[in-house]
Amino acid sequence: MKGMDLARAYYREYGDEIRRQFPQYANRMAFGLVGEGSECYGYDDEISRDHDFGPGFCIWVSRDTARAIGNELERAYCSLPAEFQGFRREETPEGAGRLGVHAIDRFYMRYTNCEGLPRTNLEWMRIPERFLSIATNGEVFDDPEGEFTRIRTQLKQFYPADVLRKKVAARAAVMSQSGQYNFPRCMNRGDQNAAYLAMAEFVKAALSMLYLLERIYMPFYKWAFRGTEDFRICGGAANQLKQLIALGNGAETAGQRQQIIESICTFTAQQLQRQGFSNTTDPFLQSHLPAIMGGIADPQIRQLHVMADAE
């Protein structure tokens, strides 16, 4: 059984029991499973069950409701059976507090540093992509009041246009510098250690670029490649990145790796033009930076260094 299925079944069994204990607040609670943990993405497997896996769900309430019944609600949740359908949740110190009762504003503050939605482009820029992925993953089982879902829905609409442009520019700059320029130079010098780091920087930047072009927040690195299975546009380029990694770091594969890097950059350049970020399909990504940065309307974002980013 997947963790999301287990959480949903546990909620169906015991959600009404929580509501019955707080009838005046029954329509002010949202239930679901969102946050940290592979089960929130549907990526969990037998290996991931060795920690912080088991029955449970989240309860999100407003600040006023949390003040009124938060402690009692948490006690009621903790009194639910610890074992369900043959599974028992054993929390590690790092995983403690992921489930149970959360004030909505504090839940989002944990990942976005904002009590609700970011209000400015700079606030958006300061949020790491993996945290936005965490805040919008999983599933909401029930939300009669709608406030948790309202914030969630707007976050899932992805970055404001100027923030997206700035992030795309930073990724294009790193891809060009690390993959198209420094990687071959390091190999020509025989410096395979530096070449390895250049290729690693290229892979990280390119993978993030593909997520941006897909309008999906890139998750924590452990699940980043797993998430590419949901790509609609950039799946082929993601597979090329996997091929690039599989070739290793030997001198005998340098030519193959450079061909793959150039192929990914060519695809990226085409997408930049098709999606309106640039007016050229030049495969050298450095050449796209003036058009991408020049399209940013917000002067605070436009004046940032081309490689400046939240990460």
Average pLDDT over the chain, rounded to an integer = 94
Residue with tokens 């010098």: 189
> Of 119, 136, 155, which marks where a domain is finished?
155
Query: 56 and 7 in one domain?
Result: yes
Query: 117 and 75 in one domain?
Result: yes
Query: 298 and 169 in one domain?
Result: yes
Query: 214 and 141 in one domain?
Result: no
CB atoms within 10 A of CB 174: 21
Query: 167 and 148 in one domain?
Result: no
> Of 102, 120, 155, which marks where a domain is finished?
155
Length of the chain: 311
Nearest to 205 by CA among 273, 265, 246: 265
What tens digit of pLDDT does each residue of 79-100 get? 999 899 888 887 777 767 889 9
Query: 100 and 65 in one domain?
Result: yes
More confident residue, 115 or 201: 201
The verdict on pTM exceeding 0.85 is yes
pLDDT surpasses 60 at 200: yes
Q: What is the dihedral of CA 273, 278, 279, 280, to 10 degrees?
A: -70
| pLDDT at site 86 | 87
Q: What is the mean pLDDT of residues 42-47?
A: 87
| 308 assigned to some structural domain | no
> Of 98, 129, 155, which marks where a domain is finished?
155
pLDDT surpasses 90 at 193: yes
What tens digit of pLDDT does each residue of 252-290 get? 999 999 999 999 999 999 999 999 999 999 999 999 999
Query: 81 and 149 in one domain?
Result: yes
| 307 assigned to some structural domain | no
Structural domain of residue 122, as residue ranges? 3-155
| pLDDT at site 151 | 97
Mapped onto helix, strand or coil, the DSSP state of residue 56 is coil
Q: What is the dihedral of CA 131, 304, 286, 279, to 10 degrees?
A: 90
| 118 assigned to some structural domain | yes
Query: 168 and 92 in one domain?
Result: no
Q: How many H helices and E strands in the chain?
A: 14, 6
pLDDT surpasses 90 at 215: yes
CA–CA separation, 14 and 8 (whole Å): 10
Q: What's the number of domains the chain is made of?
A: 2
Query: 180 and 285 in one domain?
Result: yes
Q: Which residues contact 90 (CB under 8 A, 6 or more apart)?
A: 51, 52, 54
| 185 assigned to some structural domain | yes
